[in-house]
Amino acid sequence: MDYYYDDYYDEYYDQSEQAAAARALHREVGFEETISNCVHPSLRFATQYVTNFIAINLLFSLLVLVVRRIFNASQRWLHLLSCLCGIVLLYRVIDHGFYHFVQLAVTLHVVQWLLHRWFSASNRYIKSPFIVIAYGIGNLLVSELLEPSAETWNRIRGTQMILLMKALSLAFDTDENLALRSQLNVLSYSGYILCPANVVLGPWTSFNDYLNIAKPALGMEAKHGRSSSSRRLLIHVFRILISALMAIGFMLTSNCMIDYLLAPVFSWKWVRAYGRALSFRTSHYFIAYLSQCSMIAAAADWNRSDDDRSIMLPVSSLYRVTSPTAVEFPRSLVQVVTAWNIPMHLWLKRYIFRTTKRPFGTAAAIALTYIISSLLHGLHYRLWLTLLTIGSWTFVEHEIRRKIAAIYSACVLVGKCPDSCAVHQHNSRSLLCIVINALFFALNTFNLIYLGCIFESTEGPPEEVHHDKSIFGRWTELNYASHWLLAFAYLFYFVI
C-alpha cells in the first residue's frame, strides 16, 4: 500500500484559522458556516493547486505534439521539454527541499552508471538492482534524519519516493535489457525523472512508458481520419475535467463534509475513528485523482488505441491510480492493498515480489515486499506498524478463507470466483457464501476504520492532541481491537 500522497498534502495545505476551526470535529457547525469557513478556502486552494498541474502538463503535451511534427519524433527534444516542464512544476508547487531531490537523482544515476560499467559480470552473486535499492533507501533515510525541518521533508516525501521508484525500476529494466540500456543517458534519465506528468505526485510509470510519449499511435490517423482525432481530443478533455472534478470533490469531502455530517454523533469514539479514517482515505483519493488528471493532461498514453473506445478510462489504462469503490467496499484486504495505489502495487509486484520469490520463497517475498514498501516511505513509524498489521491480516484472511472454501466447497476465497464456478459446489449467490462473504466484508470495513484512524492529522482539543503524541494513541482509544481480533483469527486458523 502507499500513503505518501497524504503526508505531502497535509503539510502543503496551510489552512486558515477559520478552516481549521471548521475541521475541528469536536464542535457542531452549521451548513452556512461550513460553506464559508471551509468550502470556500478549500476551493481557492484547489483552484490554484490543480491549475498548476493541468496547465503545465497541457503545455507539455502541446509542445510534444509540435516537436513530433517538426522533428519527426525526436526523443532528444522530448527529454529537453520534459526536463524544462518538470522543473517549472517543481518550482511552482514545492518551495523547499530541492537539494534533496537533486542529490538523490544525481547519485542514483552515478551509482547505476558505475554498476553498468564495472559490475556487469554475468556470474555475479548479487544483482546490481539490489545494490541500487540498498543505496537508494539508505540515502532516503539518512536525508530524512539530516533534514532539520520535518515540515520541509513532509513536503518532498512523496516526490522523493516517486524519484526512487523510477530509478529502481530503471535499474531492473536495464540490468538485462541491453537495447533499453543503450537509450539511457544523462538527458533521457533526466527527462524520465523530471517528467511533469508524475514528478511531484506520481504515479510511477516505467522508462518504456515514458519513451512512448514521443511515439505517435501507429496507423491510427490513417485508419480513422480526422473525425477520430476530434473524438479522441474530446474524450481527452472530458477525462481531464472529470479527474479534476473528482479530485476536488474528494478534497471537499475530506476537509469539510465529513466533519459537518458526523458532528452530531461525534461523541462516540468509533464514529470519531470512522471520520478520521474516511478523511484520510478521501484525502488520498484527492491526490490520486489529481495525479491521474496530471497524467491525462500530459497525454502520456495517447498511443494506446484501446483507450478511445469509451469516454471513461479503461481498467488497463496507464492513467488509473486508484479505485475508491474497491477500497470502500472491500471483499478482502488483498483487494484494498491492490486498489489503494494500483501503480505502486504493480511496481512492488514486478520488481520486488517476483524478483525475490524464486530465490527466497513466497513467504519471504511477501515479507520483503512489505519491508521495502515501508522503507520507501521513509521514517514513517505509524505506516510501518500499519503495513505490518495489514500484512498479518492479509495472510491470515487468505488462509482462513482458503480453508473454509475447501471445507464447504464454497466461493469464499479472497478473489471472486466466476459466476459459473466449476470448482465449488456453492457459488457466490448461495446463502452460505453470501453470509460468509458478508462477515468478511464487515471485518475488512472494521479494519479500514481501525487502521486508517491513526493517520488523522491533529486539529482537535487538547485531549485529542495528547492521543496523537503517541504512536499508538488512536489505537489505545480503541483498545487495540483489531490486534486482539488478529490474534483470535490466527488461533482460529490453526484450529480449523
Catalytic residue check, 377: yes
Report which of 127, 202, 212 is spatially closest to residue 164, judged by C-alpha positions: 202
Report which of 218, 195, 166, 140 is spatially closest to residue 377, judged by C-alpha positions: 140
Q: Is the separation of the CB atoms in 451 and 12 below 8 Å? A: no
Distance, in Å, from the CA atom of 297 to the CA atom of 335, rounded to the nearest integer, reads 28
Distance, in Å, from the CA atom of 251 to the CA atom of 49, rounded to the nearest integer, reads 12
H-helix or E-strand spanning residue 259:
helix 258-262
Region of 268 on the Ramachandran plot (φ > 0 left; ψ -120 to 50 alpha; else beta): beta
For position 64, what pLDDT does the model report? 85
Distance, in Å, from the CA atom of 300 to the CA atom of 118, rounded to the nearest integer, reads 34
pLDDT along the chain (496 residues), means of 10: 47 43 48 83 90 93 83 78 93 82 92 79 66 91 87 86 93 84 88 92 89 62 56 82 93 89 83 91 94 85 55 71 93 92 92 87 85 88 88 91 91 87 86 93 94 66 44 83 94 88
Q: In a 3-state reduction of DSSP, which class is residue 290? A: helix
CA angle 150, 151, 152 (to 5 degrees): 90
pLDDT digits (tens, 9 = 90+) for 271-292: 889 999 999 999 999 999 999 9
Region of 202 on the Ramachandran plot (φ > 0 left; ψ -120 to 50 alpha; else beta): left
Q: Is the separation of the CB atoms in 179 and 43 below 8 Å? A: no
Place of cell 545494490: 131
Region of 353 on the Ramachandran plot (φ > 0 left; ψ -120 to 50 alpha; else beta): alpha
Place of cell 484472511: 397
Q: How many CA atoms lie within 13 A of 205 on its CB side?
A: 33
Q: What is the DSSP letter of 151?
A: H
Report which of 245, 161, 242, 251 is spatially closest to residue 203, judged by C-alpha positions: 161
Q: Is the separation of the CB atoms in 451 and 386 below 8 Å? A: yes
pLDDT digits (tens, 9 = 90+) for 163-212: 999 999 999 988 878 788 888 889 999 999 999 999 999 899 999 888 88
Distance, in Å, from the CA atom of 6 to the CA atom of 23, rounded to the nearest integer, reads 16
Distance, in Å, from the CA atom of 138 to the CA atom of 126, rounded to the nearest integer, reads 17
Q: Where are the domains of the chain?
A: 46-214
Catalytic residue among 100, 109, 377, 426: 377
For position 216, what pLDDT does the model report? 58
DSSP characters over 376-403: HT-S-HHHHHHHHHHHHHHHHHHHHHHH
Distance, in Å, from the CA atom of 166 to the CA atom of 390, rounded to the nearest integer, reads 25
Place of cell 546490481: 128
- Total residue length of the chain: 496
pTM assigned to the model: 0.86
